[in-house]
Amino acid sequence: MIEVLYFAWVRERIGLPKERVETAAVTVADLVEELKAREPRYAAAFADTAALRVALDQELGSFDAPLAGVREVAFFPPMTGG
Amino acid sequence: MIEVLYFAWVRERIGLPKERVETAAVTVADLVEELKAREPRYAAAFADTAALRVALDQELGSFDAPLAGVREVAFFPPMTGG
Amino acid sequence: MSVRVQAEPFDPGAELAGFARGRRDVGAQVSFAGIVRDDTGDLKHMEIEHYPGMTEKAIAAIEAEAVARWSLKDSLVIHRHGRLAPGETIMMVATAAAHRGDAFAAAEFLMDYLKSRAPFWKKEVTGSGAGWVAARDEDEDALGRW
Amino acid sequence: MSVRVQAEPFDPGAELAGFARGRRDVGAQVSFAGIVRDDTGDLKHMEIEHYPGMTEKAIAAIEAEAVARWSLKDSLVIHRHGRLAPGETIMMVATAAAHRGDAFAAAEFLMDYLKSRAPFWKKEVTGSGAGWVAARDEDEDALGRW
């Protein structure tokens, strides 16, 4: 069971800020494929993963990172702080 | 007649902050030679002109600059503002 | 070294007045403040979303990197989230060092990394609608110089 | 754009609070403050001599150059002269621009030129005597980058 968080327009497209996901995905990319297969709003949010960033347990990571041991995954667009 | 100003250790070595100088010097370097010939304290202050800066009418200049039309010449060490 | 992430407004001048005070080894302080601009006159407000938990960690990591690279005596990062009106201060950084080179470089480094590596997202709400601010390529490119 | 050369102390935080206020085109403010350091614990005070008349002109010329090179919305330079105790603020610069790149670059430019091209001279008075601060080669070299 992984906690999946969405921020900014990813959150808006999917329509919720976070959810618990039961998954056997090995990598972040696998998880993204599972989510995209769920519903059009997920497919829309994840249409272009090059436009997205991912954090694993609150550290920036990559889409080919393994999910083993990860409790929290967050998807969001490039950050615009400062 | 030129107003000659001295700052920082140049002022201290010469022993006064400014003076009026009657001179026929053509360039700043000529003026420096005249001053050096006056007294040892001037010779000491102007011993190494590479360590000095000059301003002509309150603008940084060079030792080979002409004095024609100049009313105020200032000698001082490299600036240490900021 | 300190990090604050908050919804409440803050006064950069007052923060700076209290920053690195009473130290005899600080000769240079640099501060940066980011302010909500409204070039078109059409901005109602800005909304800044962040990732609670990760935000503080990410900023602390960026600050630790700055301290490791430059001779900093102190540093400060304050970043707001939530709703901000035009003219309000979004965030500030301050750095203190013996010499200006370290203070300037560390402040610019902090800003470059906060822009692109701290989990904040800005949304502009205007008279004609709302939109997320797009990340600028030049902000990503700026990281390459460090 | 403003320049102040004064013997009186000033509060950089308060100056910054009043700087470039109420503008909607300013997204970035950078400030620098130079402070009297006392690394050895032996400094009694610093004395800063200047060249009245030339000082203001030189700073105004440096500021005009910064405005010509970068997209500045506002700038401020305050520099003290006379006697300063350790910990006192010697001078500050502040710059305001739409984006941080201009504000940072202009502030660093102002500082580099104020260091070596504005007619101020610092003397340190310590327990064991007094001495003029020597100009640093790196300060002169810093001008080469602009």
* Touching pair A, B by Cβ (3+ pairs < 8 Å): no
Query: Cβ separation of D121 and B7 shorter than 8 Å?
Result: yes
D29 burial type by CB count under 10 A (0-12 exposed, 13-18 middle, 19+ buried): buried
Residue spans of alpha helices (H) in C32-78: 54-69
The backbone torsions φ and ψ at residue C31, rounded to the nearest 5 degrees and listed phi first, read: -130, 150
Q: How far apart are CA A54 and CA D75, in angstroms?
A: 40
The angle formed by the CA atoms of residues B54, B57 and B60, to the nearest 5 degrees, is 35
Q: Which amino acid, residue D91?
A: M
- Chunked mean pLDDT (size 10), chain C, 146 residues: 96 93 93 95 96 96 96 97 97 97 98 96 96 92 91
pLDDT digits (tens, 9 = 90+) for D110-135: 999 999 999 999 999 999 999 999 99
Would the CB atoms of C135 and A80 count as touching at under 8 Å? yes
Instruction: Give the pLDDT band of residue D39 (cuts 50, 70, 90).
Output: confident
Give Cα separations from C9 to A25, C78, C82, D20, D100 (angstroms). 42, 10, 10, 18, 21
Average pLDDT, chain A: 97
Closest chain C residue by Cα to residue D18: C13
* Residue D1: both structure tokens together: 């754009």
Kindly state the tokens that stand for D125. 């008075």
Residues 6+ apart with CB under 8 A from A57: A70, A71, A72
Neighbours of chain B (3+ CB pairs under 8 A): D
* Predicted ipTM of the assembly: 0.94
pLDDT of residue D22 exceeding 90: no
Predicted pLDDT at C113: 96
Contact B82 D140 (CB under 8 A): no
**Structural contact between residues C102 and C118, judged by C-beta atoms closer than 8 angstroms:** no
**Within a 13 Å sphere around the CA of C145, how many CA atoms are in the beta-carbon half?**
13
| Contacts with D79 from chain B: Cβ below 8 Å | 81
C24 with D87: Cβ contact below 8 A: yes
Q: Of D51, D114, D132, which is closest to B82 when you measure between CB atoms? A: D114
Diameter over CA atoms, chain C: 53
What mean pLDDT is predicted for residues B20-24?
96
How does strand D82-84 pair with strand D43-50? antiparallel
* Contact: D51, B9; criterion CB under 8 Å: no
**Quick one: angle between helices C100-117 and D100-117, nearest 10?**
180
Q: List the structure tokens of D98.
A: 């739409």
The reply to whether residue B80 touches residue D49, judged by beta carbons under 8 angstroms, is no
Phi (first) and psi of residue C18, to 5 degrees: -95, 0
**pTM for this predicted structure:** 0.95
Q: Whole-angstrom Cα distance, residue C112 to residue D45?
A: 37
Contacts of C29 (CB under 8 A, 6+ apart): C16, C19, C20, C94, C95, C96, C103, D12, D31, D32, D33, D35
What confidence tier does D66 reach under pLDDT thresholds 50, 70, 90?
very high
The confidence score (pLDDT) of residue C1 equals 84
Which of the four pLDDT bands, split at 50, 70 and 90, describes residue D40? confident
Strand partners, D92: D33, D78
**Which is nearest to D72 in space by CA: D13, D6, D19?**
D19
To the nearest whole percent, how much of chain A has pLDDT over 90?
100
Q: What are phi and psi of A10, to 5 degrees?
A: -65, -45
- Within 8 A of C117 by CB-CB distance, chain A residues are 60, 79
CA dist B49 → A55, B5, B46, D140 (Å) = 62, 15, 6, 17
Sheet holding A53-56, edge to edge: A18-21, A2-6, A72-76, A53-56, A59-61
User: What is the Cα–Cα distance from A78 to A68, expressed in whole angstroms?
Assistant: 25
